[in-house]
Amino acid sequence: MLKEGDTIPAVTLKQMTAEGPTDVPLSDYCKGRKVVIFALPGAFTPTCSESHVPSYIEHAQALRDKGVEAVACVSTADFFVMNAWGKSMGTGEHVDMLADGNAEFTRAAGMTLDLSGFGLGERSQRYVMVLEDGVIKHLAMESDPGSATVSAADAVLAKL
């Protein structure tokens, strides 16, 4: 499992753009800037849609004021789903919706969550990391994946 002081794994995620699906190498995404990556179990799910993502939209300017240059939401959903969810949530320029459709990043981070008992398969734990030039400076994982407290934007702001 990743920990503070580790470098982000060299994994490529996907993001839907106007030109179509685009590769997003995480090492490039984080290089030379302060980035917040928050991950969650699933698009369109209650906690994720009702509180987790909205917290980052609501606090986008406050995060920028603290030097955060990019905020990314990562889920094991595919890029079509992440794009549709981002549009429905109004993430706009506030949150980059990055798809980890094959769970490569989630596995490399040691953050898998088995929800197959609920018919949801392998998902991501709910967590947040603050990175500076690709190095994890803060990492917080929820003890209950149905809760978004330590990984919500206001909790991150308190750590910056």
Q: Which CATH number fits domain 12-159: 3.40.50.720, 3.40.920.10, 3.40.30.10, 3.40.50.1000?
A: 3.40.30.10
* Residue 110, C-beta contacts closer than 8 angstroms, at least 6 positions apart: 1, 2
pLDDT at 121 over 70: no
Query: Mean pLDDT for the chain?
Result: 95
Kindly tell me if the per-residue pLDDT of 38 is higher than 80.
Answer: yes
Residue 134's pLDDT is 98
**Rounded to two decimals, what is the model's pTM?**
0.95
User: Residue range 35-43: average pLDDT?
Assistant: 95
The two beta strands, 12-17 and 135-141, are unpaired
> Is pLDDT at 3 greater than 80 in this prediction?
yes
- Convert the chain into a string of H (helix), E (strand) and C (coil): CCCCCCECCCCEEEEEECCEEEEEEHHHHHCCCEEEEEECCCCCCHHHHHHHHHHHHHCHHHHHHCCCCEEEEEECCCHHHHHHHHHHHCCCCCCEEEECCCCHHHHHHCCEEECHHHCCCEEECCEEEEEECCEEEEEEECCCCCCCCCCCHHHHHHHC
Q: Is 90 exceeded by the pLDDT of residue 145?
A: no
Percent of the chain with pLDDT over 90: 88
Residues with catalytic function? 48
Q: How confident is the model over 58-93, as pLDDT tens digits? A: 999 999 999 999 999 999 999 999 999 999 999 999
Q: What are the residue boundaries of the structural domains of the chain, listed by start?
A: 12-159
